[in-house]
Chains A and B, each alone.
Chain A
Amino acid sequence: MASVSEMYDVGWEEMRDKLRKWREENCRNSEQIVDVGEELISEHASKLGDDIWIIYEQVMIAALDCSRDDLALTCLQELEKQFSDSHRVKRLSGMRLEALERYDEANKDYDAILQDDPTNTAARKRKISILKAQGKSAEAIRELNEYLEQFVGDQEAWHELSELYINEHDYGKAAFCLEELMMTNPHNHLYCEQYAEVKYTQGGLENLELSRKYFAQALRLNNRNMRALFGLYMSASHIAASPKVSAKVKKDNMKYAAWAATQINRAYKYTDTLKRHIVHLGGHAEAAMKQYPLPVFDSGWLVAGPRRTNAP
């Protein structure tokens, strides 16, 4: 099998820089990381210098994702040789045990870290992930709540909690978590959109109005968020169709829905012009259309979206 450097004709510096880029952007493309990283550490270890330790960590976590236990073990052993008493390495060893489903041993590792350093957030989060992996979502939620009482600023944790609540269909509490995220990241259109979706799912006239507002806000922050556009259309038409609203509200919402519908049509016409443009460019139009039949957006999330519509 051809190596990465042969296939793409790149040197080790480019591979190292690519790994750094993935590290900084927190990408989870584990297979690619394993391919590039494995070759880098086996062929070019001496040239990397001190970078190699963080690459070991990155490759190890990616290897656990791809079930490459052999590679993970090698990386871990190198790290343990170099940093014998480190909490960070201990956490990695715990993660490996988690991947092998030896949860009790992993928990022992994390407890040892916490005894030494009670402010260590990584170990506490791993313990919560163990509970989640074992399917004990109620306990995971409880532990995560306690964690958040101590560390109110941890945005990753708030997001994880909102996801757990959505899975339990506790939309009120999920909305609370998303509000925290919206406050700390007021310009992130994805949090607005997810909050709007949760409100929409909760249902009821007030929540529908809120959801319409937040879909509009998401669109204002990012004009290209198609999901928010569809959400705006659906919430507005839902409110307009409800029997309990006043005439003025009905008229306003129908206006919003009509506007949203026009924009959606415009977006699809935009695809058409692009399709013709691609055909002009030559050959790859079919492949392109097959791969991207719908607008591409950078949301990447799937939430319990508006599949249930409660009658207002």
Chain B
Amino acid sequence: MAEPELLLDSNIRLWVVLPIVFITFFVGVIRHYVSILLQSDKKLTLEQVSDSQVLIRSRILRENGKYIPKQSFLMRKFYFNNQEDGFFKKTKRKVVPPSPMTDPSMLTDMMKGNVTNVLPMILIGGWINWTFSGFVTTKVPFPLTLRFKPMLQQGIELLSLDASWVSSASWYFLNVFGLRSMYSLILGQDNGADQSRIMQEQMSGAAMAMPADTNKAFKAEWEALELTDHQWALESVEEDLMSRELDFDGMFSKELPSGIF
């Protein structure tokens, strides 16, 4: 719908756009510090630590087993995979799937996550919508279809207005996501104000297996290790080495370190 450009009152810029940016930013910073205060320590049990290291060792055996002699590789593979008393066959861990109902610490963690992140966003979004209503705030630089109108133009009852013109609530949400990079600049990586990252984590956390599922991990490792063969990397090392002269460059340091500095 081609139409003449709307000219907005510059007061809007001064009293709406900038305040919303500042509000979003400071709320984010406050969220970061609140999340630090409310953080609970995650206590790992000895067994969990030990199991994770065993899995790492088995993975390393699969990847780098070719650097040790064949006999040693077979010895370790036997230790892990032997039918009767190999480690992966023998060890069964008690698996308690930590659903939010049974595991109280998970429940409180979820609660805290919700309180610090989702609740402020809803509250402040609503307040901004109520305060800064009745006018358009800004124009998004790309054309939008009419479907977006009721969502982005809350409180503005103009049928003919281009859907690109949005209200202050949408400007607020734009800010929430846009200020992410500002947060990492000021608060450092891994900060508690980074909401989209947290939402991503929540989604992926539900999809990925909980760490208590070590039995499955053991089974997967057992299968992978069964399939690995030993290809000794040192078969022809002497021939490789002697194919050219040794390079002694830099063997002697011409500069003697004279003291500390």
Instruction: List residues 229-261 of chain B with CB under 8 A from any CB of chain A.
Output: 234, 237-238, 240-242, 245-248, 250-254, 256, 259-261
**CB of B61 closer than 8 Å to a CB of A:** yes
A176 close to B72 (CB less than 8 A): yes
Contact of B240 among A220, A263, A295 (CB under 8 A): A220
Contacts of A179 in B (CB 8 A): 68-69, 72
Q: Does B60 contact A (CB under 8 A)?
A: yes
| Shortest Cβ gap from B135 to chain A (Å) | 48
The residue that A183 contacts in the complex, of B65, B247, B251, with Cβ under 8 A, is B65
- From B45, B54, B60, B253, give the contact of A296 (CB < 8 A): B253
Look across to chain A and name the residue whose beta carbon is closest to the beta carbon of B49: A119
Nearest-neighbor residue (CB-CB) of A260 within chain B: B242
| Chain A min CB distance to B46 (Å) | 5
Q: A183-B61, A224-B250, A263-B245 are in contact. Are A210 and B69 (CB under 8 A)?
A: yes
Question: In the assembled complex, which residues on chain A have CB atoms less than 8 Å from the CB atom of B72?
Answer: 176, 179
Q: How many residues on A have C-beta within 8 angstroms of the other chain's C-beta atoms?
A: 50
Instruction: Say whether A66 faces chain B, with CB atoms less than 8 Å apart.
Output: no
Q: Contact at B238–A256, with CB atoms within 8 Å?
A: yes
- Binary B-proximity of A256-293 (CB < 8 A = 1, otherwise 0): 10010001001100110010001000001000100110
Chain A residue contacts of B251, Cβ below 8 A = 224, 267, 270, 295-297
A217 to B67, CA, bound (A): 10
Q: Which residue of B lies closest to A199 (CB)?
A: B69
Instruction: Tell me if A204 is interfacial: C-beta within 8 Å of chain B.
Output: no
In the assembled complex, B50 has its CB within 8 A of some CB on chain A? yes
Q: Does B105 contact A (CB under 8 A)?
A: no
Residues in B neighbouring A186, C-beta threshold 8 A = 64, 67
Judge whether A219 and B241 touch: CB under 8 Å: yes
B261 touches A152 (CB 8 A): no
Known: A153-B53, A270-B248, A270-B251. A291 touches B238 (CB 8 A): no
Query: Chain A nearest CB: distance from B224 CB in Å?
Result: 16
Q: Within the complex, what minimum Cβ distance (angstroms) separates A206 from chain B?
A: 9
Q: Are B248 and A184 in contact (CB under 8 A)?
A: no
Q: How many residues of B contact A (CB 8 A)?
A: 36
Q: Which residue of A lies closest to B258 (CB)?
A: A8
A229 on the interface (CB 8 Å rule)?
A: yes
B261 to chain A, nearest CB (A): 4
Residues of A78-124 at the interface with B, using a CB-CB cut-off of 8 Å, are: 118-119
Given A213-B238, A220-B237, answer yes or no on A152-B247 (Cβ-Cβ < 8 Å): no
Contact with B along A126-164 (1 / 0, CB 8 A): 000000000000000000000001111110000000000
B216 at the interface (CB under 8 A from A): no
Contacts of B253 in A (CB 8 A): 296
Q: A18-B260, A151-B53, A220-B240 are in contact. Are A183 and B252 (CB under 8 A)?
A: no
| Set A149, A182, A267: member contacting B248, Cβ < 8 A | A267
CA distance A295 to B248 in the complex (A): 10
Contact B68 A119 (CB under 8 A): no
What are the 9 closest A-B residue pairs judged by CB atoms, nearest first?
A: A153-B53, A8-B261, A223-B246, A216-B237, A183-B64, A179-B68, A223-B247, A152-B57, A224-B251
Q: Cβ of A223 and Cβ of B68 under 8 Å apart?
A: no
Instruction: Tell whether, in the assembled complex, residue A216 and residue B68 are in contact, meaning their CB atoms are under 8 Å apart.
Output: no
The answer to whether B56 has its CB under 8 Å from any CB of chain A is yes
> Chain A's nearest CB lies how many Å from the CB of B152?
46
Is A254 an interface residue, CB under 8 A from the partner?
no
Complex CA distance for A155 and B15, rounded to whole angstroms: 60
Contacts of A4 in B (CB 8 A): 260
Cα separation A152 to B49 with both chains bound (whole Å): 10
Q: Which residues on A sit within 8 Å (CB–CB) of B247?
A: 223-224
Tell me the minimal C-beta distance from B87 to chain A in angstroms: 10
Q: Which residue of B lies closest to A121 (CB)?
A: B49
Q: Which residues of B contact A214 (CB under 8 A)?
A: 234
A36 at the B interface (CB under 8 A): yes
Complex Cα distance A266/B251, Å? 12
- Kindly name the residue among A119, A151, A256, A278 whose own CB sees the greatest number of chain B CB atoms within 10 A: A119
Are B50 and A150 interface neighbours, CB within 8 A?
A: yes
Chain A contacts for B248, CB-based, 8 A: 223-224, 266-267, 270
Query: What is the bound-complex CA distance between A216 and B44, given in angstroms?
Result: 43
Query: Is A212 interfacial (CB 8 A cutoff)?
Result: yes
Give the complex CA separation of A290 and B243 in angstroms. Answer: 35
Q: Which residues on A sit within 8 Å (CB–CB) of B54?
A: 152
Mask, A34-77, CB within 8 Å of B = 1, is: 01100000000000000000000000000000000000000000
Asked if A32 is at the interface (CB within 8 A of a chain B CB), the reply is yes
